[in-house]
A = this chain, B = another copy of it.
Amino acid sequence: MKNIAYHKVMENMKKNPSLVHCITNYVTVNDVANIILASGASPIMADDKMEVEDITSICTSLVINIGTLNERTIESMILAGKKANELGHPVVFDPVGAGASIFRTRTAQKLIQEIRFSVIRGNISEIKTLCYGSGTTMGVDADEADAVSEDNMKSIIAMTQELSAATGAVIAITGAIDLVVDCKNAYAVYNGNADMARITGTGCMLDGVIGGFAGSNQENILDAVVAAIAAMGLCGEYAKERCYGTSSMKMYLIDAMSNLTAEQLERGKKVESKC
């Protein structure tokens, strides 16, 4: 078991702020950009094949999210991903809706074949689709029957470690309980609350935050991912206390990220090592 160096991760965010190239969906892109800025990193959104290699080259990390996948940008994702691999930049992948359409499932598989990802983050249904080749569930939200619990956690970790071994990526499954897994380690993150699922794009925002944390902590991606997920959940907790409803909750969540300190994260994190 490995201790997560929260302070070090946050310190590196300040010392070496990331510039995160995002090829993401048009639904939540504004919140993604704003939460990246709130976390202390900077975003660049660019998805045309004429420039994605140039843009990725001036960045520290790349986030690929297939939330509103279209044929035009798949080529851009592959070009950017290959360039980021060449340059050794961390690449985060969010297979949004893998399993919900053949197009998404196949594109997610293709991207995993073509690009070496540092982090793959999805809900349980999406990660299962990547593990088993086809989705057992339908939709872009996770099937509740599949949700991670203390009972099934062990077998989910085993499944996820195989995906980690096959891809070389740190795998993050987010939901009521979040799991972060690599070949040797597994952590459960208990921060956050159920109302975060009533905001669109908490997952996409988290992708961006992970992109920033990973870009500033390239020597220690696992710590960066655990810290980013705990930070996001913690900000959701602060937001929940202050909000009147789901929209002000989103606002206060980003506000909380813009004010988050290493001390708050160290004190507020709820993380347990599971192997």
Contacts and interface: CB of A to CB of B under 8 A. Distances in A.
Contacts of A68: 45-48
A25 B54 contact: no
Given A45-B68, A48-B71, A247 B34 contact: yes
Contacts of A244: 242, 252, 255, 259
Contact of A247 (B28, B46, B139, B251): B251
Interface in A217-238: none
A245 B250 contact: no
A53 to B, nearest CB: 9
A119 interface: no
A48 B70 CA distance: 5
A58 interface: yes
15 contacts: A19-B139, A27-B29, A27-B33, A37-B198, A37-B246, A38-B198, A38-B247, A43-B200, A44-B139, A48-B70, A48-B71, A51-B103, A244-B259, A245-B258, A247-B255
Interface of A: 19, 25-31, 33-34, 37-38, 42-48, 50-51, 54-55, 58, 67-72, 97, 100-104, 138-141, 198-201, 242-248, 250-259
